[in-house]
């Protein structure tokens, strides 16, 4: 639920919008920024995290709670290209290629007709401008002009792309509204700190409690034009640090990201899990992360379908170096 009494504020975003630090008070507040400003601040976080160029991740793959089954190398580019090679401990080699929303796969050099969704758009964590991030989101059908608030694990997240969670627009546009625990809707940027009492009908949060309304005689929530059970592509970002925490796909597949850790000056989630309906979650633990030079030919069909006996090459076409601590495949 949205924490009432210890809500976390999107500090960087609040600074950019309000121009001042908003202190936590005993009465919790829910902050809903505008989508375009949020996307702009997410892009800044991507840039400051060192992810705005191609990055290479060395991975360990687990299925469910079982022991590791493969080691992998993932290269992702902010332009919307990504590739993943998995070397199973049984000796099999799987490769996946993502170009925009198009996924292709191969096993031991032979094309897979229906590849598993093991390569998801991690490049959402990379665009350094709002325009490139919006383009990436729209490529996957995410409604980039819609933002709401929901819980993600023990955290609160801004959710981009779901009209059912979105706060309605005010009649006089403001950057965000504040609903305080005393049942008063306040616009901190309005003249004289305008206050508006809540009407009987309000927008309810996921916990059933009112979150935010719009100014006027009746503060109504948005029209639910999207059926409740419809699966929508969405992007979830932590309200505190604006790091990506979850990516939803229209297929029902979703990816959850762990806490961000530092690999030198590169900030990367320590792990990520891919959840597919009806299947055990696939967990990838990040063992190493570096920035690389990845030209377009690094994401070619030639790489995807290369015979297993041929070295696949690194991001720049050179043979990849084994990551520290890498173990050979077992027989």
Q: Which CATH number fits domain 55-141+228-304: 1.10.10, 2.50.20, 1.10.30, 1.10.3470?
A: 2.50.20
Whole-number pLDDT of residue 283? 97
CA–CA separation, 142 vs 246, rounded Å?
Answer: 13
Longest distance between any two alpha carbons in the chain, whole Å: 73
Tokens of 12: 């960087």
Domain positions in the chain: 55-141+228-304
CA angle 222, 232, 60 (to 5 degrees): 135
CB atoms within 10 A of CB 128: 18
Which of 171, 175, 197 is CA-nearest to residue 186?
197
CA–CA separation, 272 vs 246, rounded Å?
Answer: 9
- Chain centroid to Cα 319, Å, comes to 31
Distances (CA, A) of 171 to 37, 127, 177, 235: 18, 32, 12, 26
Whole-number pLDDT of residue 114? 93
Whole-number pLDDT of residue 31? 60
The alpha carbon dihedral of 37, 43, 46, 49 has a sign of: negative
Could you say which DSSP state residue 241 is in?
A: T
CA–CA separation, 184 vs 325, rounded Å?
Answer: 57
Q: Are 158 and 11 in contact (CB under 8 A)?
A: no
Tokens of 52: 């705005």
Q: What is the DSSP string of 242-274?
A: --EEEEE-TTS-EEEE--EEEETTEEEESEEEE
Q: What is the DSSP string of 96-107?
A: EEEETTEEEEEE
Q: Which position has the token pair 């979150």?
A: 211
Please list the pLDDT of the chain residue by residue as tens digits (331 residues): 444 333 343 444 443 333 322 322 222 335 678 899 999 999 999 999 999 999 999 999 999 999 999 999 999 999 999 999 999 998 899 999 999 899 999 999 999 999 999 999 999 999 999 999 999 999 999 999 999 999 988 889 999 999 988 765 544 344 444 444 444 444 444 444 333 333 333 344 444 444 443 333 333 444 446 788 889 999 999 999 999 999 999 999 999 999 999 999 899 999 999 999 999 999 999 999 999 999 988 999 999 999 886 555 555 544 344 333 333 333 2
CA–CA separation, 263 vs 90, rounded Å?
Answer: 29
Q: Are 211 and 203 in contact (CB under 8 A)?
A: yes
Whole-number pLDDT of residue 226? 77
Which of 232, 300, 255 is CA-nearest to residue 77?
300
Helix H or strand E segment including 301: helix 301-304
């Amino acid at each position: 639920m949205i924490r009432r009494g210890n809500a976390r504020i999107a500090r960087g975003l609040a600074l950019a919008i309000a121009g001042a630090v908003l202190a936590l008070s005993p009465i919790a507040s829910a902050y809903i920024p505008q989508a375009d400003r949020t996307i702009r601040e997410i892009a800044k976080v991507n840039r400051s995290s060192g992810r705005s160029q191609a990055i290479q991740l060395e991975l360990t793959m687990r299925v469910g709670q079982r022991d590791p089954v493969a080691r992998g190398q993932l290269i992702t580019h902010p332009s919307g290209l990504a590739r993943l090679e998995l070397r199973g401990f049984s000796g099999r080699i799987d490769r996946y290629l993502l170009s925009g929303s198009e996924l292709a796969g191969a096993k031991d050099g032979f094309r897979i007709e229906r590849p598993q969704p093991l390569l998801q758009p991690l490049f959402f964590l990379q665009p350094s401008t709002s325009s490139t991030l919006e383009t990436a989101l729209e490529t996957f059908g995410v409604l980039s002009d819609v933002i709401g608030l929901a819980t993600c694990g023990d955290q609160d997240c801004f959710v981009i792309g779901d009209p059912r969670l979105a706060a309605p627009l005010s009649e006089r546009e403001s950057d965000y509204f504040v609903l305080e625990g005393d049942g008063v809707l306040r616009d901190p940027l309005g003249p004289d700190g305008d206050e508006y009492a809540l009407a009987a009908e309000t927008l309810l949060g996921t916990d059933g409690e009112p979150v935010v309304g719009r100014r006027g005689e009746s503060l109504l929530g948005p029209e639910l034009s999207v059926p409740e059970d419809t699966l929508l592509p969405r992007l979830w970002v932590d309200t505190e640090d604006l790091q990506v925490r979850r990516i939803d796909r229209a297929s029902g597949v979703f990816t959850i990201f762990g806490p961000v850790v530092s690999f030198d000056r590169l900030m990367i989630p320590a792990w990520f899990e891919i959840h597919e309906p009806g299947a055990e979650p696939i967990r990838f633990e990040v063992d190493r992360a570096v920035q690389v030079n990845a030209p377009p030919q690094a994401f070619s069909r030639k790489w995807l379908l290369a015979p297993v006996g041929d070295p696949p090459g690194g991001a720049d076409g050179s043979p990849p170096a084994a990551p520290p601590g890498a173990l050979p495949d077992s027989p």
